[in-house]
Structure 1
Amino acid sequence: MRIYAGNLIVFLWGFSNNLNPILIPHLKKSFTLTTTQSTLVDSAVYIAYFLMALPAGYVMKRFGYKIGIITGLIFFSIGAFLFIPAANTQSYLYFLFALFVIACGLGFLETAANPYAAALGPHETRTQRLNLAQSFNGLAAALAPVIGARVILGQGYTEQQLNAMSSAARQVALASEASSVKTPYFILGTVLLVIAIAFTLTKLPAIQHKETGKEKSQNILHAFKHKHLTWSVIAQFFYVGAQVCVFSLFVLYAGKSAGLSEMKAADYLGACGIAFLIGRFFGTFLMRYIKPNKLLTIYASINILLCMVAIGANGMITIYAVILICFFMSVMFPTIFALGIADLGGDTEYGSSLLIMSIVGGAILPRVFGIISDSTGDIQIGYLVPLFCFSIVAYFGWKGHKTVPEVVFEEGPAIGATL
């Protein structure tokens, strides 16, 4: 029961996040935004992750993982329902607030669910287990753009149609477009509320981490004594920034690099999600034979080369390059997470909070991508941002993931305790 419920939660938060690439062009057109302004969608989401990660870690430590999950589901549901008044008021800021509330729930869910999945089984296979659970995020990445495009973008008007309208007719048309989000988010909010009630009635196994002696967790800063955790926070910041740049701006990118329509681009974004899903399963399989950190380095290095293609090429080859980027970045989030919380003991909850806080990279780096795109007039140049991000991830897999042996002082020579 706990496995199926956990996988469903991962799917739902993945579905919500992967609707953002559809919302960005939709709201960009509805509110006549620049690329940089439209990336506020991602900023609203990932700033919430940053702000809620510490409260989520405290709630888990004080009340347990179950309460953390239920709290996340309630926030998630409320945020989804807020899309209805946001559409009714025709306010971009209201949409951003609704997304912020959704992301507050996602912050709780990810802070709780990731270490919970890692802990439910043998220590040696925690990375594969977390990658397998996160594969349902990949399934959501494949389905959300295709479904979202037909429910949200499919009811919209083309730029040519809008330009041919009078000012009053155009305003009515854009208001109608904004309202198209109400039905899917109402359904999502209702499903989440039902799941929250189900979790309230379900008994979950308690997960406890040993806290003895010097390993006892004192505060959030105490967790930074683990050098590999610090590096994982840095790597996760840049990875999430890269992922959000690739997915959220894909529809706009595909229109420029390959001349695709929004609907066609959304279908290819679904292909990116399929590649992401296959990559998760394939990567999980490869980890039986290749150490997770080595696979992370190999994949990140390949993506550096693919980013060069995304920048310099034209036509459909750019789309295929981005689809491959999605395949190779598929294992990065859960692998960085699992390597980061390894051997943290009593600092696991705080370490998890720090790794979720690092998701704020998704709020900052797409803005940099947008600024580069707007200032150069070429969205392809923006791929310099993911290129740099994957360089940081490659370094983490190569060296930054290594745990530092703790020196234990006893009578006589110091003895290094291998972690």
Structure 2
Amino acid sequence: MHFVAGPISSNRSATAAPAAGPANYTSALSLLASLFFVWGFITVINNTLLPHLRSVFELNYTQTTLIESVWFIAYFIASIPSARLIERIGYKKSMVVGLCIMAVGALGMILAAQLPSYYVTLVALFTIACGITLLQVAANPYVAVVGPQQTSSARLNLVQAFNSLGTMFAPLFGGYLILGRSTGGTAGTDQVLTQAERLADAQAVQLPYLIVAVVLVLLAVVITRYPLPALTRSRVAKADRGAHSLWRHRNLVFGIPAMFIYLIAEIGVANLFINFVSQPHIGNLTHEGASHYLFLLWGGMMVGRFVGSILMRSISAEKVLGGCAIGACIVMLVATFTTGPTAMWALVTVGLFHSVMFPTIFTLGIRGLGPLTEEGAGLLVMAIAGGALVVVQGWLADMYGLQMSFLLTAACELYVLFYAVWGAKPTNAFPDEPAQG
């Protein structure tokens, strides 16, 4: 598959234009950290939005998780067009376009609330996700290849920590401005809302998404005026491309399903967290109260990524990933088979173990790909579409109960463990080439 992830080096070097030195790259990574923060923030607003929409539209768990499935289908559909757009107009302009697309989707959420309409909500969220995909396709591989290979996992974990900073604050924002300003968000789990109350609750998302749209536009303006260093590329010659196959690289072949499966675990926990801890036999909380514990879940991911970035400078990324997979599996089993505070805190704790998984799987997956790095990175970004299968957990929750549905999450952790132990070992790796500043 001839897929290009974006305008970054296709070997292990990322070379700037002559005027761009190390200081320029440090500055560029700081800007990228702000983008990671923004898309993490917007993505996790969904975790407070879903129980809200479940109440407004009287959805079952399958319909509720379908909302998030539509979000992640965008990663699969938009990844290749995003890569081609980056090739056509460049990295900087593509970031601006991505932010503008997200702003359009945020305004669509205001329209969906005004109608109100479940289907317009799906379209608006799909649009926002397409914008985030465009940012993801370029930013993740850029961070991974801009420095030495041996510290790529540590580097991406560090920048992803700012993504987690956004995800940590989003539940507070959504809890206060969406759940805290709605009848469904402040009522008990057994209270039945009237039609008038549901219509009034629908309007609660308008102010948050107006704020989001304004912030996105302002950030797009900042990036437009920012002197981002250009990156050059060196590719495999077209005549020689047939001699190189992505499928000879075991770490990528098993890394793509590892990314896909991990996203099922992360998104399933995050999207069903509020509904889970609100149950009388778990936390017995209102949805607004439960959102504060979701803040701790994402806070654990932020802390874990900072810690992981430090640990991976002295411990191999595979060992850190494997240890986190074992820990995540254990706490998910505790959440499934216990009740009360024990189950609730077990689910909160899984954020700490999930923290390093996305950036570490990504960097291990593209390790040793050399001139095929862009293509491999693009496939790993497409694998983020695994989050769409959270609808399977929604179906399991409807059929067998919400708590038992987390056995699916525990099974996902076992595949990540397999990848860390064996699947991530590179085969047919290209020699590493040091990055140039």
Same fold (TM over 0.5): yes
Contact 1:227 1:404 in 2 (8 A): yes
Q: Which of 347, 357, 362 matches 2:372?
A: 347
AA aligned opposite 1:369: Q
Q: Which residue number in structure 2 is paired with residue 278 of structure 1?
A: 303
The answer (yes or no) to whether the contact 1:60–1:349 under 8 Å persists in 2 is: no
User: Does the CA contact (< 8 Å) of 1:210 and 1:345 recur in 2?
Assistant: no
Question: Which residue of 200, 205, 208 corresponds with 1:176?
Answer: 200
State the Cα distance separating 1:198 from its structure 2 match. 2.2
Letter of the aligned partner of 1:230 in structure 2? V
Contact 1:211–1:217 (8 Å) recurs in 2: no
Q: Does 1:371 align with 2:395?
A: yes
Quickly say closer, same or farther: Cα 1:266–1:123, change in 2 above 3 A.
same
Contact 1:54/1:354 (<8 A) preserved: no
| 1:404 alignment partner in structure 2 | 427
**CA offsets per residue over residues 328-374 of structure 1, 9 Å max, x none?**
1101001111111223233222222211111111111x211111111
Instruction: Report whether the alignment pairs 1:145 with 2:168.
Output: no
Match of residue 101 from structure 2: 75
**Residue number among 215, 220, 224 corresponding to 1:191 in the alignment:** 215
Q: Does 1:4 align with 2:30?
A: yes
Query: How do 1:93-108 residues align onto structure 2 when only pairs under 5 Å count?
Result: 93-108=119-134
The one of 400, 405, 408 aligned to 1:382:
405
Report whether the alignment pairs 1:320 with 2:353: no
Offset from partner CA, 1:216-238 (integer Å, 9 cap, x none)? 6579x954443321211110001
Q: 1: CA distance between counterparts of 2:220 and 2:405?
A: 39
8 A Cα contact 1:233 1:358, kept in partner: yes
The answer to whether the 8 A contact 1:57-1:349 is kept is no
Q: Which residue number in structure 2 is paired with residue 41 of structure 1?
A: 67
Please list, as runs of the form range in 1=range in 2, the aligned pairs for 1:93-172 lying within 5 A after superposition.
93-158=119-184, 170-172=194-196
Cα distance, 1:171 vs. partner?
2.2
Q: Matches of 1:336 and 1:218 in 2, distance apart?
A: 26
Cα distance change, pair 250–160 in 1 and its aligned pair in 2 (3 A):
closer
State the AA in 1 paired with 2:397.
Answer: S
Match of 2:12 in 1: none
* Counterpart residue identity of residue 131, structure 2: G
Q: Go from structure 1 to structure 2 and tell me whether the alpha carbon gap of 1:344 and 1:315 turns closer, same or farther (over 3 Å shift).
A: same
1:204 and 2:228 are equivalent in the alignment: yes
- Choose which of 46, 58, 67 in structure 1 pairs with 2:84: 58
2:257 maps to amino acid: I
Deviation (angstroms), 1:214: 8.3
Q: State the Cα distance separating 1:380 from its structure 2 match.
A: 0.7
Distance 2:102 2:68 in 1: 16
How far apart are the structure 2 equivalents of 1:309 and 1:161? 23
Change in 2 beyond 3 A, CA 1:150/1:379: same
Question: Using a 3 Å threshold, how does the CA distance of structure 1 residues 222 and 116 change in structure 2: closer, same or farther?
Answer: same
* Residue 274 of structure 1: how far off its partner (Å): 1.2
Equivalents in 2 of 1:339, 1:62: separation in Å?
A: 28
Quote the RMSD (CA, aligned, Å): 2.2
- Separation of aligned partners in 2, 1:124 and 1:209: 21
Q: How much has 1:181 moved relative to structure 2? A: 0.7
Q: Does 1:229 align with 2:255?
A: no
CA contact (8 A) 1:15 1:144 kept: yes
Task: Name the amino acid aligned to 1:299.
Answer: C
Q: Does 1:242 align with 2:261?
A: no
Q: What is the TM-score when the length of structure 2 is the normalising length?
A: 0.87
1: CA distance, partners of 2:369 / 2:230: 18
What is the match of residue 411 of structure 1? none
Deviations 1:107-128 (A, max 9, x none): 1111111111122222321111
Indicate conservation of the 8 Å contact 2:370/2:431, yes or no. no
Q: TM-score, normalised by structure 1?
A: 0.91
Assess if the C-alpha contact under 8 Å between 2:189 and 2:278 holds in 1: no
**Equivalent position amino acid for 1:194 in 2:** L
State the alpha-carbon separation in 2 of the partners of residues 371 and 313 from structure 1: 21
Q: Are 1:22 and 2:45 an aligned pair?
A: no
Q: Distance in 2 between matches of 1:388 and 1:361?
A: 14
Distance 1:81 1:215, change over 3 A: farther
Matched, 1:334 2:364: no
**Shift in Å, 1:59:** 2.5
Structure 2: unaligned runs, 5 residues or longer: 1-26, 433-437
Counterpart of 1:414 in structure 2 is none
SS in 1 for 2:93: helix
How far did residue 13 of structure 1 move?
Answer: 0.3
SS of the aligned residue for 2:403 comes to helix
The Cα offsets for residues 98-146 of structure 1, whole Å up to 9 and x where unpaired, read as 0000000111111111111122222321111110000011111211111
Give the aligned residue type for 1:310: A
For 1:293 and 1:163, the matched residues in 2 are separated by 48
- Runs (4+) of structure 1 exceeding 4 A deviation are 158-165, 213-219
Q: 1:57·1:352 contact (CA, 8 Å) conserved in 2?
A: no
| Residues 70 and 315 of structure 1, relative CA distance in 2, 3 Å threshold | same
